[in-house]
């Protein structure tokens, strides 16, 4: 049975819960703090990243997969939900 066109999209008229850092597989890679974040699988290049330190789908607070807590989503972070932002990626 075919779905209608509108049934394929998530409604944007309400707030959805975000995933925890641990569930999303998020971690900060401190070695890349000063790297060119325009090339690679960094939060900075992700469609869900909200400049300067937030994410549309992952909570800012809580421990990451390594048990570290920073209180932000770092541009040099990575997670398993990464989706390319064509405007940022070189």
Domain span at residue 42 reads 17-90
Residue 81 is assigned to a structural domain of this protein: yes
Longest dimension (CA), the chain: 51
Residue 6 is assigned to a structural domain of this protein: no
Q: Which helix (H) or strand (E) holds 28?
A: strand 27-28
Residue 7 is assigned to a structural domain of this protein: no
Residue 34 is assigned to a structural domain of this protein: yes
Classify residue 69 as exposed, middle or buried by CB count within 10 Å of its CB (0-12, 13-18, 19+): exposed
When pLDDT is cut at 50, 70 and 90, the band that residue 74 belongs to is very high
Residue 75 is assigned to a structural domain of this protein: yes
**Looking at the predicted structure, is the pLDDT value of residue 9 above 80?**
no
Share of the chain above pLDDT 90, in %: 72
**Looking at the predicted structure, is the pLDDT value of residue 3 above 60?**
no
Residue 5 is assigned to a structural domain of this protein: no
Over range 8-15, report the average pLDDT.
Answer: 73
Residue 23 is assigned to a structural domain of this protein: yes
* Mean model confidence pLDDT for the chain: 90
6 versus 62: the higher-pLDDT residue is: 62
How many domains does the chain contain in total?
1
Residue 86 is assigned to a structural domain of this protein: yes
């Amino acid at each position: 049975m075919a779905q209608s066109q509108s049934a394929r999209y998530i409604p944007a008229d309400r707030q959805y819960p975000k995933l925890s850092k641990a569930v999303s597989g998020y971690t900060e890679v401190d070695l890349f703090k000063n790297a060119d974040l325009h090339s690679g699988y960094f939060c900075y290049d992700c469609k869900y990243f909200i400049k300067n330190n937030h994410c549309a789908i992952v909570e800012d607070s809580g421990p990451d997969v390594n048990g570290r807590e920073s209180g932000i989503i770092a541009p040099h972070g990575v997670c398993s939900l990464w989706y390319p932002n064509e405007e940022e990626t070189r």
